[in-house]
């Protein structure tokens, strides 16, 4: 009995706990969900095709063997560099293979049939993405290395799309039919997310400074912004229609600037309103976190209140303020999707068109760029926060 226990203990120690979860997710995607979905046209119900039927027999066998080997590496306590390399390789192989599945399953000379990635592909991609993220965390990559990793991933995705490997997938066919509109709505989405962020930063940081310098008004301002934050986004978009329509009709020049009851104006105003609380509260928190010794030393050097604010307090509070800006940007990239419901444009246009037409791939054409933008923004701003914290530590 003791010998059995002794042999079981090293085995348990050799297994990675997170790797067990990742392996379970990957195996579920491999054997329980279809790798691809085939439709006779873009709106009819799809038929699921498992991995071993979605590709030629030899290619399917090699893919399953490669994925099984990758799962085995992730399951065990393997070196971090090996786990990272295997995860990246598995994601790359999956991306190329699903494109091959689109070519293999599309009938010849059929412009109506659609092939799209199935649940199995997305589950496998999710599993290996977790493994890759875990490996990068364990490696403790520097901020610059994380941004370089993101750039390499973006270049790889661009190369995949440029190569035509995904041309037979339904989402690329949806893009081909809407290429001009895609980039137009993309510019609108960026304008909504970054424009509202810029306005909230310009207005919110001074309000945060006032809240910090004048404690009696802090509670009333923050409570008012908290109430504003509790209004559901679609309700806030709707509430702005009537007042902005009135402004557009009665204020000279307002209509020429694009201010109206629906469209871009109410969308960006609503996003601006949602952005204020994180910016203001993080500005207050950042200023509160400035060490008293730093303030006393600055006053001892004869600094005025203005010099203290701009040379000591704001630079030391910057990492916390930047964290609030990160929250706002990621939040607004997602919330801008809803702007399409009131004619605000953005990638949400494709999402709601796809829902109305029961065209899943049209929904993905709008949703995937939003996810990618939010993911990239989070990585870049997390790296900038860490760099600012390092700079703050060196100032001390």
Largest CA distance in the chain: 89
Cβ contacts of residue 46 below 8 Å, gap of 6+? Answer: 37, 38, 39, 116, 360
Write the CA distances from 272 to 182, 319, 367, 374, integer angstroms: 24, 21, 22, 17
Task: Give backbone dihedrals phi and psi of 115, rounded to 5 degrees, phi first.
Answer: -125, 130
Q: Sheet containing 114-117: which strands, arranged edge to edge?
A: 47-49, 36-39, 114-117
The ranges of the chain with pLDDT < 70 are 1-13, 253-261, 391-396
What integer pLDDT is reported at residue 214 of this predicted model?
A: 87
The pTM of this model reads 0.85
What integer pLDDT is reported at residue 254 of this predicted model?
A: 64
Integer-rounded Cα Rg, in Å, for the chain is 26
Q: Retrieve residue 207's tokens.
A: 């309000």
Question: In angstroms, how far is the first alpha carbon of the chain from the final one?
Answer: 59
Q: Retrieve residue 101's tokens.
A: 């599945």
CB 344 within 8 A of CB 266: yes
What integer pLDDT is reported at residue 22 of this predicted model?
A: 92
Write the burial class of residue 294 (CB in 10 Å: 0-12 exposed, 13-18 middle, 19+ buried).
Answer: middle
Kindly give the residue spans of alpha helices, DSSP state H, lying in 231-359: 233-239, 241-250, 264-288, 292-300, 305-308, 314-335, 348-356
Q: Running DSSP on this structure, what letter comes out for residue 77?
A: T
Q: Retrieve residue 150's tokens.
A: 């993101």
Instruction: Give the closest residue to 229 by CA, choosing from 168, 269, 274.
Output: 274
What integer pLDDT is reported at residue 73 of this predicted model?
A: 92
* Domains of the chain, first to last: 2-169 (no CATH), 179-395 (1.10.3720.10)
What integer pLDDT is reported at residue 9 of this predicted model?
A: 57
What integer pLDDT is reported at residue 63 of this predicted model?
A: 93
Q: In the block, which residue shows the tokens 């701003």?
A: 381
Q: In the block, which residue shows the tokens 């995607």?
A: 29
């Amino acid at each position: 009995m003791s010998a059995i226990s002794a042999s079981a203990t090293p085995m348990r120690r050799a297994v990675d706990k997170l790797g067990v979860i990742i392996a379970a997710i990957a195996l579920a995607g491999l054997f329980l969900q279809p790798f691809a979905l085939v439709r006779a046209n873009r709106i009819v119900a799809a038929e699921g095709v498992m991995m071993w039927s979605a590709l030629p027999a030899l290619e399917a066998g090699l893919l399953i063997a490669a994925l099984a080997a990758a799962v085995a590496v992730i399951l065990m306590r393997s070196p971090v560099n090996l786990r990272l390399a295997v995860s990246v390789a598995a994601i790359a192989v999956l991306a190329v293979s699903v494109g091959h599945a689109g070519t293999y399953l599309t009938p010849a000379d059929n412009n109506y049939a659609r092939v799209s990635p199935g649940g199995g592909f997305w589950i496998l991609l999710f599993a290996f993405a977790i493994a890759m993220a875990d490996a990068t965390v364990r490696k403790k990559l520097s901020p610059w290395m994380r941004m370089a990793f993101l750039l390499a991933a973006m270049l790889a995705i661009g190369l995949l799309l440029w190569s035509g490997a995904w041309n037979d997938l339904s989402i690329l066919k949806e893009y081909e039919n809407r290429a001009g509109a895609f980039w137009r709505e993309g510019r609108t989405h960026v304008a909504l997310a970054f424009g509202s962020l810029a306005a909230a930063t310009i207005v919110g940081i001074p309000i945060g400074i006032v809240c910090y310098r004048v404690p009696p008004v802090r509670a009333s301002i923050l409570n008012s912004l908290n109430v504003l934050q509790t209004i559901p986004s679609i309700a806030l978009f709707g509430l702005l229609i009537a007042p902005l329509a009135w402004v557009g009709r009665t204020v000279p020049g307002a209509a020429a600037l694009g201010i109206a009851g629906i469209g871009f104006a109410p969308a960006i105003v609503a996003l601006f309103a949602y952005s204020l609380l994180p910016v203001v509260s993080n500005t207050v928190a950042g200023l509160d976190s400035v060490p008293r010794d730093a303030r006393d030393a600055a006053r001892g050097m004869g600094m005025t209140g203005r010099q203290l604010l701009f040379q000591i307090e704001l630079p030391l509070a910057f990492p916390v303020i930047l964290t609030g800006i990160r929250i706002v940007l990621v939040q607004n990239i997602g919330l801008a999707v809803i702007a399409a419901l009131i004619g605000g444009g953005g990638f949400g246009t494709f999402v709601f068109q796809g829902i109305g037409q029961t065209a899943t791939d049209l929904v993905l054409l709008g949703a995937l760029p939003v996810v990618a933008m939010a993911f990239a923004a989070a990585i870049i701003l997390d790296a900038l926060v860490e760099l600012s914290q390092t700079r703050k530590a060196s100032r001390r």
